[in-house]
Structure 1
């Protein structure tokens, strides 16, 4: 069983982490993802769901925007408390 929202958060986070100079410490990255996921609904598919339905979920533009918003909010929360050298600018 897999939470597809977690897959989407990982994908969006990896797309934006270099652009926004987010702390590269793994604990900070995990905290950002966890904070974002705690503010997003989980998404599980039934065994009868097709691969197309799952792919459509991951490619939905509005959903990606929502995930990006939650990641941005999480970065603000986590990075404001970050004690590592490479902080968000």
Structure 2
């Protein structure tokens, strides 16, 4: 199975920081946040010959985590400003 490791990192980061924000956590908003962040980050796939240690190193890289954190925070801001819960469903659909 092919896996985008950036997607794993975005999901992990969002899970860690979402509690620090006053934002809707419905599935639609969470998926919007992930989508926006992932669209602004490069996808990362590993060859089958890469060992688990290298994959784990990717997920633990400090600079990468900071970059992902910044993109997730930007995505949270975008979604919170355009959330359907603010009566702006049309804007949310365009995200």
Task: Verify same fold: TM over 0.5.
Answer: yes
Q: Would you say the 8 A contact 1:4–1:44 is kept in 2?
A: yes
Is 2:15 the partner of 1:14? yes
* Structure 1 gap ranges (5+): none
Q: Distance in 2 between matches of 1:33 and 1:84?
A: 18
| TM-score, length-scaled by structure 2 | 0.85
Q: Distance in 1 between matches of 2:78 and 2:20?
A: 18
Q: Distance in 2 between matches of 1:15 and 1:43?
A: 21
How do residues 27-46 of structure 1 correspond to structure 2 at under 5 angstroms? 27-46=28-47
- Report the aligned-residue RMSD: 1.1
| Aligned residue number for residue 61 of structure 1 | 62
Q: Distance in 2 between matches of 1:83 and 1:40?
A: 25
- Aligned structure 1 segments of 4 or more residues deviating by more than 3 angstroms: none
Q: Distance in 2 between matches of 1:22 and 1:41?
A: 26
Q: Would you say the 8 A contact 1:25–1:84 is kept in 2?
A: no
Q: Report how many residues are paired.
A: 85
| Aligned residue number for residue 26 of structure 1 | 27
| Aligned residue number for residue 52 of structure 2 | 51
Moved more, 45-54 or 16-25: 16-25
Which protein has the bigger helix share?
2
